[in-house]
Structure 1
């Protein structure tokens, strides 16, 4: 029998909202349930309204949902903002330390008083976790195990104090209220709880990352934090640079020296990096740039959701040069396709962009452990020391059929060449010769044909091939779309690699489609524009959202029913 729970905790920044959400998700996951959690927070260091929503189910989850079974309100603002999202059978856990609410669905628990009884008022979130576990009939020992893993680095005293706080909340709720449902532990393999930024980081490390350089910019900053945390363990170089210009130029230098290199930022940071990315394009130096999108332009919405950088990434930089753009839709794609992106960047000696966003960063889900037994690191035409020593007339930018030239790294006496941002000859010498300009530009652009052939699944078709409706989307819309089309005669065309544009694959699906609906998190239907430009197919039905928040599955499902 399927079991489901939708839980949300809210309060001010500084209340431990994020830690509580993570702990609750891990508790449910360790009990064998699938979980999906997502966070919302303003661009403030302290204060403002912060939430973490956690869904749990006996079936795999791909998105968040709006209607709640349990709302944990650590302040009155949370109650007022979310009380209408609680289902008819749901409850609200309210901190009644100072005042009680009389609403029928409110469970008044003196969270602050119980936290002070445990030893510290900041443990109010842990008391709420204990109460939540009791009200779903779950195992407190699972929560205790998670508290140990989270707080062990702070010492046994902190661990035990949190356990006491959880027990007080558990006992109070259990003694005064009946559980609203009973979630049962499931027999299931151990799973990880990850977000896409974590998965990108792990994928980069598995791909052989050696240099990571970044200036922090939300929502890409957590990749820098991840890399800094594991720098010594993984024997990589991590640089917190003074700005985005320094980080991209560090990447170009590292790539020139033969090291796999990556940075993470958001759209504003990529804007500053555009000249450096152009340098990578001109010098044919591989590097990987993670753009975790947020609302723009300028500073825009630093902590909110948007998918408005797609065309920017495809047209990035002055002049014309090949690049790769990959937009993962979930944690698994973020891991496996990051490895693929590194291999493609090396093989074709181009900059590659991983285009994710705030929803992908702020959403964690339980996934099986990654299968890495078939993972390969492919460096392309990177000359070995022995091959370099055999060179007698080395042309770093040699004209080749596939556009890719033999690449050498500094230190080989027979493969010395000039690397410059100016246009150059096959040897790297600066030249403005018009014939050479045409030949070397065409050489660089020929790489796009090879990249297209090498990408195994640039698009994915989810659902029946001959459905009544095809939904088209990319990136983080994947999860909400998949949940929205469940049980309907609808399929989903996911564009995983928007560039080089997979024209044949997209045309094949859309020409076979009876009706088409475009779903994007921007105001101008950027993927729709790209599809029209590349195929001539204009998608008339569109669902666009650009209010700073992600799609709910029910919003997409409602639009689908309108179209059908």
Structure 2
């Protein structure tokens, strides 16, 4: 019997409440003191198609999902036929036997336990809508794993209004009672409560963590045009609009969004937008204007596979080079790629500070897997990173008798930043090349000075970033194999390292968090110590490998690449690492 380790999959068609059910179950397990991770897979459809949600529960820290499934709650037969080979030996399928027939012979698997539950009949008895059947199924799951039902009841009551909650609690209890009566002693899994530590844990996804950080950082203007998978951030920010006194705008296009951000920033407001690769294409000209006018902005780019529409509801890492080089001309920008929910929060706080300190656009580069997957994490330390607005001038600060120059030449490249409307100051800038006062110029000598001034900011930033955690090393400095990755490859890589822990193979992993400016010295140091190097990345051309080669003049030995829109499976990754070694 497996104790406190289970992988639950819930599957069915779009609109059947798949993701919500997985979320409720995972949160209940979190409240029971367990570590949880949840991720979804869905097609670009409002109704129909095939969706599923995987929840992994463990008494040890969980970094990613497994493709193996212990229990499958199937709301239609298609789910079973698609995923039957992923179910582990002696795993189980919960299904509505009155809705469709199923047998071990049909599945070609005698080692799967079938739990037939009259889900639709119970819904009818409750006089509820069909969507409630997933809650009945969760009741069966809770019974089979012998987990305290009170945790899930509490989550349901906290999630829904009283009328909806009452119906779902009844449905949950009916499912529990049915399983207790008909499946006693048949289960191979048990999940029991664990002692909750002193630190409280919360359950949220990357979009929500970035949104919380934006609110904490003092973002007062959020504008975007909805685009999967960044839309969740819009919904989150809109839900706090009144409580935090912010303005949230659903713009008519990504072009409008980036230009509104530029205007808000020019007016002195911390501003943010978010999109995916296709939307960022439309933002590229506005990005260049931010670079020329030296206005700070934070832009979250949530990647999905392209080109064009590509796979709109799946994940990838194909936009790294694009984001680093987006827009025409040359200007400094910062690109940060968090790898988990906790990093989404803290790196977003850093992004807002660095954007204002260096008066440049900062891109938070994420992907669908990161922003839509849920993790149980310790509550964030909101005082860990303070607010730094850089050379932001107030009327008290500005006492100079000289004429204000928005683009004043300075040794560090950063000019004092006043806000329009400030007494005694005219703030002038434009998207043409300009002189220190902001007036347009085509003078070659002035042009050279202004270009050099903007890039002095980058030189200052590079020195400053030595004090930041631009890379993270997991494992010892020396190893048989050194893995390199960025973004959410961190999750399956760390899970693979756990699986390889007992093997006669010493592995470490360098996560590169800040990708532009590239942390050349830190990466080169690890490369020089490495015996064998592997880049793990979710794109076809291994863009990280080329970045490493460009900046360090050193070549990666091997590449493990995946570009089908799905995240790495840790078990598959383990085998590929062994094959290389």
Q: Which of the five TM-score ranges fits, normalised by the shorter chain?
A: over 0.9
Partner residue in 2 for 1:176: 182
Partner residue in 1 for 2:126: 118
Shift of 1:389: 4.3
Sort the Cα spacing of 1:216 and 1:391 in 2 relative to 1 into closer, same or farther, 3 A. Answer: farther
The 8 Å contact of residues 136 and 183 in structure 1, kept in 2 or not, is answered as yes
Partner residue in 2 for 1:519: 536
Shift of 1:387: 2.1
Partner residue in 1 for 2:71: 70
The 8 Å contact of residues 251 and 262 in structure 1, kept in 2 or not, is answered as yes
Distance in 1, Cα, partners of 2:25 & 2:396: 55
Shift of 1:116: 1.6
Partner residue in 1 for 2:366: 356
Distance in 2, Cα, partners of 1:157 & 1:525: 52
Shift of 1:388: 2.5
Q: Which runs of 5+ in 1 are unaligned?
A: none
1:213 matches 2:223: yes
1:133 matches 2:142: yes
Distance in 1, Cα, partners of 2:295 & 2:3: 51
1:426 matches 2:405: no
TM-score, with length taken from structure 2: 0.95
Partner residue in 2 for 1:247: 257
Among 153, 156, 170, the residue aligned to 1:144:
153
CA deviations 1:307-358 (Å, max 9, x no partner) are 0000001001100000000000001110001001110000000000000000
Distance in 1, Cα, partners of 2:103 & 2:571: 31
CA deviations 1:89-136 (Å, max 9, x no partner) are 211111112233222521111111112222212211110110110010
1:258 matches 2:268: yes
SS across alignment from 2:366:
strand
Partner residue in 2 for 1:398: 408
Among 201, 207, 218, the residue aligned to 1:197:
207
Partner residue in 1 for 2:107: none
CA deviations 1:214-238 (Å, max 9, x no partner) are 0000000000000001100111111
Shift of 1:395: 1.5
Partner residue in 2 for 1:21: 22
Sort the Cα spacing of 1:161 and 1:279 in 2 relative to 1 into closer, same or farther, 3 A. Answer: same
1:479 matches 2:491: yes
Distance in 1, Cα, partners of 2:328 & 2:101: 61
The 8 Å contact of residues 337 and 513 in structure 2, kept in 1 or not, is answered as yes
CA deviations 1:110-168 (Å, max 9, x no partner) are 1111122222122111101101100100111111111111112xxx2221111111111
TM-score, with length taken from structure 1: 0.98
Partner residue in 2 for 1:93: 94
Shift of 1:540: 2.9
Distance in 2, Cα, partners of 1:118 & 1:520: 49
SS across alignment from 1:424:
coil
Distance in 1, Cα, partners of 2:369 & 2:543: 18
The 8 Å contact of residues 395 and 423 in structure 2, kept in 1 or not, is answered as no
Distance in 1, Cα, partners of 2:371 & 2:125: 36
The 8 Å contact of residues 389 and 413 in structure 1, kept in 2 or not, is answered as no
| TM alignment of 1:543-562, pairs within 5 A | 543-562=560-579
| TM alignment of 1:338-487, pairs within 5 A | 338-455=348-465, 456-486=468-498, 487=501
Runs of 4+ in 1 over 6 A off after TM superposition: none
Distance in 1, Cα, partners of 2:85 & 2:421: 67
Shift of 1:393: 2.0
Distance in 2, Cα, partners of 1:403 & 1:293: 32
Distance in 1, Cα, partners of 2:261 & 2:383: 28
Distance in 1, Cα, partners of 2:392 & 2:150: 53
Q: Which runs of 5+ in 2 are unaligned?
A: 105-109
Q: How many residues align?
A: 561
Q: Greater shift after overlay, 259-268 or 486-495?
A: 486-495
SS across alignment from 2:88:
strand
SS across alignment from 2:272:
strand
The 8 Å contact of residues 392 and 414 in structure 1, kept in 2 or not, is answered as no
The 8 Å contact of residues 3 and 190 in structure 2, kept in 1 or not, is answered as no
Shift of 1:414: 2.7
Partner residue in 1 for 2:37: 36
Shift of 1:2: 6.6
CA deviations 1:491-541 (Å, max 9, x no partner) are 001010000011101101111100000100000101111111111112130
Among 286, 301, 308, the residue aligned to 1:291:
301
Partner residue in 2 for 1:537: 554
CA deviations 1:174-225 (Å, max 9, x no partner) are 2111332221101114311111111111111111101000000000000000
Partner residue in 2 for 1:316: 326
1:238 matches 2:218: no
SS across alignment from 1:384:
coil
Distance in 2, Cα, partners of 1:481 & 1:184: 28
Shift of 1:454: 2.4
Partner residue in 2 for 1:157: 163
SS across alignment from 2:248:
strand
Distance in 2, Cα, partners of 1:365 & 1:117: 36
SS across alignment from 1:138:
coil
Distance in 2, Cα, partners of 1:99 & 1:379: 62
Partner residue in 1 for 2:47: 46
SS across alignment from 1:268:
helix
SS across alignment from 1:79:
helix
| TM alignment of 1:275-286, pairs within 5 A | 275-286=285-296
SS across alignment from 1:385:
coil
Distance in 1, Cα, partners of 2:40 & 2:447: 50
